[in-house]
Amino acid sequence: MDKLVVEGGRRLEGVIEVSGAKNASLPILAATMLSKESSVIHNVPQVADVFTMVKILKSLGARVEHKGNTVEVDPRGAVNPVLPYKLVSTMRGSICFLGPLLARFGEAKVSFPGGCVIGPRPIDLHVKGIRSLGAEVKVEHGYILAKAKRLRGTRVYLGGAFGSSVLGTANVLMAACLGQGKTVIDNAACEPEVVDLGNFLKAMGARISGLGSPSIEVEGVERLNGATYKIIPDRIEAGTYVIASAMTKGDVTIKNLDLNMLGAMVDKLKDAGVVITQKNGHARVRRQRVLRPVSVTTLPYPGFPTDLQAQMMALMCIVPGISVITEKIYPDRFLHVSELNRMGSNIMLEGNSAIVSGQKRLSAAPVMASDLRASAALVLAGLVADGTTEISRVYHLDRGYEDLVGKLQNLGARIKREKE
């Protein structure tokens, strides 16, 4: 098992380019199963979750060529609509095979997914959506079993206890493309990754309108073609580097980043005093003075992303004053708090809120990553801590960040990967 060793106190400076969006790549790779023709997907990040998706596609019988950041999927030989637990136990994104397999094969057997331990992540909206399309769905022995001779269009409401469901929307959207008649998805997720999936489906010949809004309409078609498509940049990876620049008093330019995808985060950082500008499609992030504390509440898009909550907390730990970070997507997503406190932070939990008393400095300590975004937060804390921080269980980072160490080194960070 590997660990990261981070020497704090280095200012980040330079130019960085983010990889393709992991959270768009996973459902798009699953969507290739809707066709009987090959698809070529470009700008796919080389991260562990993508490698797992490739293994799943191969297990289904598809032929897959994965070279660099390009994945070509030929699904014509696929005959096995079953996803065993062994393959899907490590990531949540595997659930997005449910819709495509059901739509193409008339049946699907998908194990309950794994992924980061960040609190309850129910699949009830997935099941509700698929059932609304006319499928018979039952849960047995840890598997979701779904059958339908032909899915039929309907109106589906996907509101949940914590808002819309990104992967639930993706599953219903993909399944409805091959359904009979029109489907309307109400309270659909508006995230850019859902829009990216929809644009890929449209490139395959799907008839979809309303992407990016809470109401998506899908007119079912008889078949979908293969397509060549390029994944959007990863806004969560980009946001992580934006915060890293702010924390280290840096001056970092992030290439090919549309700040509109990070509007809520950018607004909060500007309130804190971070200087963020955009020119010719690139974003520049500078910190020129002492920052002010700000309070944050995570919400579905276009609200503040839950996937940047831990990183934002790491920033507030070194901003003198009181900030309150409230988690409304995954109320238990605070496993990083105890580790940040080990590094000298002063954070108290009250329900689904973290009260951060910002300090002028953090001190290096051995810490342990608990999930993907918590891992990133600990790296950011290590960049500014006095001394050398060792972060164990960094396999979490490998699931969502392509060459994190190399990219930070290019910006001047002293960070390396070692065997524990």
Give the residue numbers marked as catalytic.
116
The H or E element containing residue 144 is: strand 143-147
Beta bridge partners of 139: 144
Structure-block tokens of residue 134: 């006319």
Tell me the H-state helices in 134-218: 166-177, 192-203
Residue type for position 227: A
**Short-list 54, 44, 53, CA closest to 22:** 44
Residue type for position 259: L
Structure-block tokens of residue 323: 């900030």
Beta bridge partners of 297: 326
Compute how many other C-beta atoms are within 10 angstroms of the C-beta atom of residue 348: 11
Residue 385 Rama label (left phi>0; alpha psi -120 to 50; beta):
beta
Report strand pairing: 13-17 vs 251-255.
Answer: parallel
Residue type for position 284: R
Answer yes or no: are the C-beta atoms of 373 and 330 closer than 8 Å: no
